[in-house]
Amino acid sequence: MIGMTSYDLQACAGLPAATKQLNDTTQVFIYTGTHAQPNYGGSTLIPVGDIVTTMSQLGGGGGTTCTAVIRLDHDRVSDVHYTGDNDEMVGTDGICSIITRGCARQPEGTMKRSAGGVFGPVSAFHPPITPNQSTSGTYSSQSGAAVLNPDNKSSDSVIIPRPQ
């Protein structure tokens, strides 16, 4: 989805649940999705529901909600983050596929192509490598004039003016 225009993003993922304009060139689209937890009902002979629930909990899965926070810089997707109890039995952020599935099934022309290997650089266990954010997409003019105080024992504020 990196590189996709906001128009193509909305065409494949739908309208965002919320948006936030960060500065003149950067905005954030927030998408939410839920996946119903399977219900196996009760069984007296074989406790299928109990077995599946236990496996999900031990395997790190069982998530049902995801929020995708998508940063757009100069009207193009520059970063995607997922939050929520979004893990599945195999891999992380699996529940989030309900948000981005439309974009993956029919890639838009403005998307950055993934290449490499039979399955590409994408894995259920790690995200693809993406370039660093542009400074205009990550910093405001106010934050550019300040830095994190590197001295943990300092009596000064945590945020200090940038040294000249």
Instruction: Identify the bridge partners of residue 140 per DSSP, sorted by sequence position.
Output: none
Instruction: Identify the bridge partners of residue 159 per DSSP, sorted by sequence position.
Output: 148
Place of tokens 């490598």: 129
pLDDT at 91 over 70: no
For residue 163, what are the CA distances in angstroms to 143, 144, 150, 151, 157? Answer: 13, 11, 12, 14, 14
Instruction: Identify the bridge partners of residue 20 per DSSP, sorted by sequence position.
Output: 28
Sign of the alpha-carbon torsion through 20, 73, 83, 106: positive
For residue 84, what are the CA distances in angstroms to 35, 36, 123? Answer: 12, 14, 19
pLDDT at 90 over 60: no
Q: pLDDT grade, residue 161 (50/70/90)?
A: confident
Q: Hey, which of 39-48, 133-142, 144-153 has the most confident mean pLDDT? A: 144-153
> Whole-angstrom Cα distance, residue 62 to residue 72?
30
pLDDT at 51 (0 to 100): 67
Burial class (CB in 10 A: 0-12, 13-18, 19+), 3: middle
Strands 76-83 and 146-148: unpaired
pTM of the model: 0.62
Give the DSSP H/E element, type plus range, for residue 44.
none
- Written as six digits, the tokens of 36 are 């119903």
Contact predicate 57/87, CB 8 Å: no
Does residue 25 sit in helix, strand or coil? coil
Give the DSSP H/E element, type plus range, for residue 71.
strand 65-73
pLDDT at 20 (0 to 100): 95
